[in-house]
A and B are shown apart, each in its own frame.
Chain A
């Protein structure tokens, strides 16, 4: 991982072109997910896979994290785990809020109609 002792991060230019190309292809593919109107589980899983691959390429190669020492990579990536906990907690919370609204909001609150596309 840390073989090079030259100044800063120097790598063959070819790897940047490869990653650039990969990002273009992955972006095109995620755009096609919408263009072809994939729906349901297929849509969500494709979007997430392409997103994570793109993020991985950018962090690992463009930001050189793959070439940094493990101590640095851990200091940056482990705190992100806390964010996953936040996302999980907030999705439970949102689910519950949605349930209470579905059950109670149309009973005399007077601020919402359930017809699609209309508010007030």
Chain B
């Protein structure tokens, strides 16, 4: 520890602390532009100059480590003089356009200028003008305002993992730009808006819509992935105008993914359903709540009375709040149905009843940075978990080894130590190889059940799986780790696979052998919560696949667009068509709900209160930030009134808080959660390691900005390059085998469905696979997300080919 003094206040700090960190600890504000606690130190703006005893020139507080006994003055004459002169330099070429600048009112430069600037400029020469750049649909540029602090450049390189912006040119001509004509494609790009201390980078969707002081700021929780990022929703006149991160070091730090930042634009979509609707003779008619609910209740009662409770299927979105899931389950129960499920995109349910608890990510979010060895099974990391990937990136930057087994080889923008890219079907065998290699490493086979050992006998371990096992065990090229912190995460591509059970079971066995943390990292914001509450079929109930394959007479949909949100869109559509009655609680009116009979407008996360449970088991409640649009009502309220109307007992909650209390039985949520979280299995599930099938397999990945009804309707997100027309994407070699060239039109058949798609080369796809994105109307007619598929050329490439 070092003892120092800043502005006369004594403080004890760690070795290596910089002056600015020490001052921040003391609450002494040193002005700064380039410094940011999460980025490397550039020390280029020179705003943080302070006086240090025994030094004849001022030192930059951000880059100067303190020494024992240092006496620092941040407000002395010489410090202030230096700071003022830097301010003067910063302003000479800065436009004085604060009144029309979006940053106005929340601009660091403006704030500090008020404190340090001179009233009148001594600069009478011509000011610099810099051309604006078009860097994509999310971030708007006003480059003349740039003060070259390079925060944006450093963020994209260090946190985003790829250098997409640079400071080109030199001296006064230096300017921030992406490569000629390129846009910034990072899925974290919006953070550069927050980082920019001036108005050079601003939010394109938010541009010119409001002045910062007109906005009401309300806290909330981001609802698009299992991280549970803290957000601040900015509202004007009852309308959400932007979303910013709220700093929460242990969850999202100070960042936010673009999905969570820009999804709000989907809230104001013209698709929003504002009043209840009932279909009469095939035509939609608006109605009032009372009529709608009575009609819905009547239908539900009639059908369940006539055919029994099992005629009803209830589908709940994994993004619905805990309150909504809980009440939906109560309704199902009240109507005598055990058919309820939230696992809409899953197809393999063999683990039901075999788990010891609720699957979760197996550790806390910041722990990710501490792992030495990581294995990711079946996940396109950046697509599924934009911010989580960034934590893993930090671990890798600190020397962790990342290993990947996946059918997709998309660059996670961090060093990958070993990877195996194979067909989903072969992943089971690959995992068995890793298990066998691991069991051989320290004669750990003794720890495996005999049945598994017998199974492994037939397995041939290849060099790359051996390498993965060794990496997980902590072995190294130059030295071995004595007790490595190892983690294995099973991702969404595995979770949605027909052989998920086997993959997960093998992952569990591997983690058992090497003492690794095992975690499940699904897409969706409340999977853990829904699972813990058991929004899943009871012992006599049907899981989602069964409910769709063996159609029910009635469906209750909570925030689900069946064609787009289910594992098998075609089956879902058919089931809805065949049903006598489909009641949809939905935020949007859309084609995907054309087959419904009753539409009940529910409120999105900004207009309701509720609770989400993150992948790490954190229970977070939020309140509405605006009034519901039109006649919309919070989902929990609609379900409660529906319950009342149905006459089901126990539906007398006055608030979502009441529902929450009921969920946790009056206990402290965390107590319930920690009791429940457990990734281990009661027993081993049958594993077939050698299933051979040589046909093509579909990888029905859900693109980042298609995952739920809200993001699907956010225009700026839809304008990014991540939103592509669905195509049949495959490896160059695969195209060669099939005699296809890019641009060819092909007929893709899957199950009973088919679609005509264009062929596109994508060398990230494993051989033997075709990547055909899901959650898109153009591919909704196809079958399962992951399944056998055929591809047939119907027309040659019409484009000119070389």
A and B interact physically:
no
Residues of B within 8 A of A (CB): none
Interface residues of A (CB under 8 A from B): none
